[in-house]
Every structure is written in C-alpha cells, then in structure tokens.
A = this chain, B = another copy of it.
Amino acid sequence: MTDDTTLDGYRIAEEPTYHADGDEVAFYDAAYAARLPVMLKGPTGCGKTRFVEHMAWRLGRPLITVSCHEDMTASDLVGRYLLGRDGTHWQDGPLTMAVRYGAICYLDEIVEARQDTTVIIHALTDNRRILPLEKKGELVQAHPDFQLVISYNPGYQSVLKDLKESTKQRFCAMDFGYPDPAIEAAIVAAQAGIAEDQARRLVQIAGKSRNLRGQGLDEGASTRMLIHAGRLMGAGLDLRQACQLALITPITDDADMRLALSAAVDACV
C-alpha cells in the first residue's frame, strides 16, 4: 500500500524557517534514523512545534499534529466506528493514519490527554512498533517511516497530572528554551516583517519580562508574543502600543507587574 495520496494533505510544501540553536537537528536525525520516539521539552511558544515542522520537511515526511486535551480519548487518536447507510464502518484516527501510512505523528502536550491515550502508544514505542486497534480487532504494524513525537512542558506538570515513569522511559528527550538573543531577533524580524533593530528592542523587552518569571509572572514573553508585537507594529501601532497589546495585557492583571513591564518597555524605546 502506498502512502502517496492518503497523507498528501499533511505534507509540508515549503521549508518552515528554523534557526538552529545547538545540536538539535543532528540529535533528531539520529533518533529518526533509529526510529526512536522523541519527547520535546520546553516552555510555551519557544518553537517546539516549528522545529517538528522543520524536521518533517527536512526528512520529507508528512506530519500529523494533534493538540491533546483533557477530554481527548484513545478513540480520538485511534479511530472509531461510524454509522453509515450499511451499518458501521471504521474510520482511522490521526495516529492510526500516521502509523499505517508512515507519517511523523506529533502529539502536542500529551500530558493533558486522558490516560488511555498515553497507554495506547506503549506498544508503538518499544521494539514491537505495533498499534492495537482493540475495538476493531486489528494489530497495525507501523510503517517503516513512522515516528512518534510528543511535547512536554516541565514547568506545568503537577503531581496529579504527569507522564507515568513507564511512559517517559520510552522516549529520547531534547530540551528547548528561548533562542539566543541574536537568533531570536532574526526570527522575529523575519516572521513579523519588521526591521532588525526593532526586533532587537522587542527581544530586549522579552529578556526583562522573562526575568520577572516566578516573581509574579507565570511565564515571560515568548518568541511568539514578540512576533505578535512585531506584526502589530507592521499594522501601524508604535512600540509602546504594540507591547501593551501583545506582551503586557495578555499575561498579567496585577497593577505592579504591569507597571514593571511598562517601565521595561519605556527603557527600550
């Protein structure tokens, strides 16, 4: 069975820009060569999703991304019977499609999902590489090109909601953080379509905001938020207005913290 048409909608046509910040590409290449499952660790909006898109493009593989959530069940991943004119027929879920036809399957924030979704991947992540479709009574042997990738934000997990040790141990893991300032400014300039010096000022502000983490802020401004601010500047707002809208008001309602962030902006104008 060829995977050429089924997964066509999941192929990445153009190279997603990605500015490497270490050995992550070589590491991922090795893990994919060994077809080992990979876990990407790092905070919100630092570029994990973009990295997977870049690697899928680089390796010429289709990419199926699933944002996990509290009410997601194994059936949402694996598939289910639907009722049609002639009774029920089976419909593959996104994970089954990836397993069957050879895509990279990216489960974003898998910790959010219900436990049955994390157990369903066990037989896929050891030497068996099979996906049991229990409701259908089928064992799907993974396509040679299939790989599983998950993301994980260590800052978020609580005791009640964490990956089981027996799940963690099945993955190779790579750390991600915010990029080096020069690289981050290049990313922001490129993706928001603004001048490099404007982007550098946004990165400076982000740095100050990240230092406030844990002192009243849950997280500092992410690269994504800087791109938002840059795009608002492209749409005609000045730096102060753009930072107010994109970097300050979204993340805090505390008056003191807002003052501190505004001062950080003023210092960079």
Q: Which of B23, B71, B222 contacts A74 (CB 8 A)?
A: B71
A19 within 8 A of B: no
Closest B residue to A87 by CB, please name it: B84
A10, B168: Cα distance in complex, Å: 27
A129 within 8 A of B: no
Cβ–Cβ contact A253 & B154, under 8 A = yes
Cβ–Cβ contact A174 & B249, under 8 A = yes
Asked, given contacts A237-B27, A249-B174, whether A218 binds B66 with beta carbons under 8 Å apart, the answer is: no
Question: How distant is A156 from chain B, measured CB to nearest CB, in Å?
Answer: 8
A156, B93: Cα distance in complex, Å: 31
A77, B251: Cα distance in complex, Å: 25
In the complex, chain B residues whose CB is within 8 Å of the CB of A34 = 228, 231-232, 234-235
How many residues on A have C-beta within 8 angstroms of the other chain's C-beta atoms? 95
Cβ–Cβ contact A169 & B232, under 8 A = no
In the complex, chain B residues whose CB is within 8 Å of the CB of A123 = 65, 67
From 63 to 96 in chain A, residues with beta carbon under 8 angstroms from any chain B beta carbon are 65-74, 76, 81-88, 91-94
A161, B137: Cα distance in complex, Å: 28
In the complex, chain B residues whose CB is within 8 Å of the CB of A57 = none
Question: How distant is A65 from chain B, measured CB to nearest CB, in Å?
Answer: 7
A198 within 8 A of B: no
In the complex, chain B residues whose CB is within 8 Å of the CB of A166 = 44-45, 109, 153, 156
A82, B136: Cα distance in complex, Å: 10
Cβ–Cβ contact B245 & A172, under 8 A = yes
Stretch at the interface among A113-121, A178-186, A261-269: A113-121
In the complex, chain B residues whose CB is within 8 Å of the CB of A84 = 86-88
A241 within 8 A of B: yes
A9 within 8 A of B: yes
In the complex, chain B residues whose CB is within 8 Å of the CB of A112 = 115, 119
A127 within 8 A of B: yes
Question: How distant is A249 from chain B, measured CB to nearest CB, in Å?
Answer: 4
A204 within 8 A of B: no
Closest B residue to A125 by CB, please name it: B224
In the complex, chain B residues whose CB is within 8 Å of the CB of A65 = 123, 132
A216-251 vs B, CB cutoff 8 Å, 1 = contact: the mask equals 001101101101100110111100011001100111
Q: List 22 A-B contacts (CB under 8 A).
A: A9-B139, A30-B235, A30-B236, A30-B241, A31-B245, A33-B236, A41-B253, A44-B169, A65-B132, A66-B132, A69-B120, A70-B114, A71-B73, A76-B135, A83-B87, A86-B87, A92-B137, A94-B132, A97-B137, A126-B224, A172-B245, A173-B245
